[in-house]
Amino acid sequence: MAMVEAVEMMAGRFRGCMVGALMGDCLGAPFEGEPRATRSILQSYFRRLSDPDLKVPYKQYTDDTAMTRCVAQSLIEKKGFDAKDMARRFVKEYYAEPKRGYGSNVTDVFAALRATKFRDPYSPAAFQFNGRGSYGNGAAMRVAPVALFCYATKAGLVDTSRDTALITHANRLGYNGAVLQCLAIYEALHTPTNKLDSVKFIESLITKMKEIEKPSEDDILYEGEDPYVYVKRLEKVLELMERGDSVSREQVEDELGVYISAHMSVPTAIYSFIRATSPVADIESENEYQRTLHFAISLGGDTDTIASMAGSIAGAYYGVTKIPGNLQKHCEASSDAIKQADDLFSLSDPKPPAS
Ligand code: R7I
Ligand code: MG
Ligand code: MG
């Protein structure tokens, strides 16, 4: 493949990742926390939105995207990870638009960061939940720009994703969920289109998570705490994959979870991406990206977040050209997602200084 073509294709994957995440959030949000939507409700939802003549107000993004935008903008402007800058952006964003559906406890972190004037940007998160830290999926849901940034600049992905997570999520499950989601996007970016080997994809994540979840000398585990939660959940993903299209939504909910906690949503998002690479019996869409969102939303529970995380992986793999424009145009601020993707991409190609 010609060099220029390869570069353009990768730029399209960056866009796919950012737009893919945004759309999962916008399109999944109306179903968050509602009883699982029926087959016919979701079918007409996607059909209606795909009608090129439909004119309706934008589907608004929620906290997932509000925070993703902060992560991206901080990395772009600072050309690297700067904890104080990122924390400041989260807090400014939250106080400017607090009604974006934030998790109920993370707002205490924002208040404490503001009150302490960002003196130690990691400290407030560490005091959440009686010093155990949050295991919510709020750090995983916003990590997509980190995967793109590290792909572009070759910065350390594990450390960067963990550090961005720690500003709000100090529980091992909270930040390791973000690391796993980041690795999944990174892996998708690296996989040539049509060359995905799903089993190898998951096995490679398992190998990496074995290393990441290995307790360090600073990790003092609680009595009975299992350090390898993500490894086990990814093994469960492999097991569900073997059972193919016969696995029901109820089984996914029981075995992987569809909840607001990172360990019960990140593996579910990864599974949604894999499951939607093949046709799903009761989903009519032949477009794999759309099928990913549709499947993720059809699981119920934390629909905006699971669809957003699955959508960012799928978008990174299929690229923006696979994302249906008729759906994209209903999502708030998709041009911003494209701009941020392009800015992150251009970090990989430093322009020579003007003479
Ligand atoms: O993780 P977080 O930012 O929430 C993200 C979710 C996404 O679904 C968004 O779409 C939005 O709806 O919220 O916010 P946190 O407040 O840190 O965590 C979310 C919730 O997880 C908390 O409000 C708790 O209900 C639960 N949770 C915990 N419960 C008990 N013990 C998180 N950590 C704990 C814990 O240690
Ligand atoms: Mg949300
Ligand atoms: Mg959510």
pLDDT tens-place string over residues 196-253: 999 999 999 999 999 999 999 999 999 999 999 999 999 999 999 999 999 999 999 9
Which of 134, 229, 297 has most ligand 1 atoms within 8 Å of CB, for mutation? 134
Q: Tell whether 84 is covered by a domain.
A: no
Ligand 1 geometric centre to CA of 135 (Å): 7
**What number does the ligand 1 atom closest to the CA of 29 have?**
10
> The CATH number of the domain where 304 resides is what?
1.10.4080.10
Q: Tell whether 111 is covered by a domain.
A: no
Domain count, the chain: 1
At residue 2, the pLDDT reads 82
Residue-number span of the structural domain to which 162 is assigned: 6-60+136-215+226-347
Q: What is the number of other CB atoms lying within 10 angstroms of the CB of residue 334?
A: 22
Ligand 3 geometric centre to CA of 25 (Å): 8
Q: Tell whether 110 is covered by a domain.
A: no
Best CA proximity match to 338, nearest among 309, 305, 315, 304: 315
Ligand 2 geometric centre to CA of 149 (Å): 23
CA distance 333 to 109: 26
Q: Tell whether 118 is covered by a domain.
A: no
Query: Could you read off the pLDDT of 165-204 as tens digits, one per residue?
Result: 999 999 999 999 999 999 999 999 999 999 999 999 999 9
Q: pTM to 2 decimals?
A: 0.98
CA atoms within 13 Å, Cβ hemisphere of 48: 9
Q: Tell whether 175 is covered by a domain.
A: yes
Q: Tell whether 234 is covered by a domain.
A: yes
Query: What percentage of the chain carries pLDDT values higher than 90?
Result: 94
- Cβ–Cβ under 8 Å, residues 309 and 24: yes
Q: Tell whether 123 is covered by a domain.
A: no
Question: And the tokens for 256?
Answer: 């992987």
Query: Could you read off the pLDDT of 60-87 as tens digits, one per residue?
Result: 999 999 999 999 999 999 999 999 999 9
pLDDT at residue 351 tops 80: no
- Cβ–Cβ under 8 Å, residues 36 and 249: yes
Query: What percentage of the chain carries pLDDT values higher than 70?
Result: 98
Q: Tell whether 261 is covered by a domain.
A: yes
Kindly report the three-state secondary structure assignment for every residue of 96-161.
Answer: HCCCCCCCCCHHHHHHHHHHCCCCCCCHHHHCHHHHCCCCECCCHHHCHHHHHHHHHHCCCHHHHH
Residues with Cβ < 8 Å from 266, sequence gap 6 or more? 137, 140, 177, 180, 181, 184, 230, 309
Which of 260, 265, 297, 304 has most ligand 1 atoms within 8 Å of CB, for mutation? 260
Question: And the tokens for 271?
Answer: 């599974």
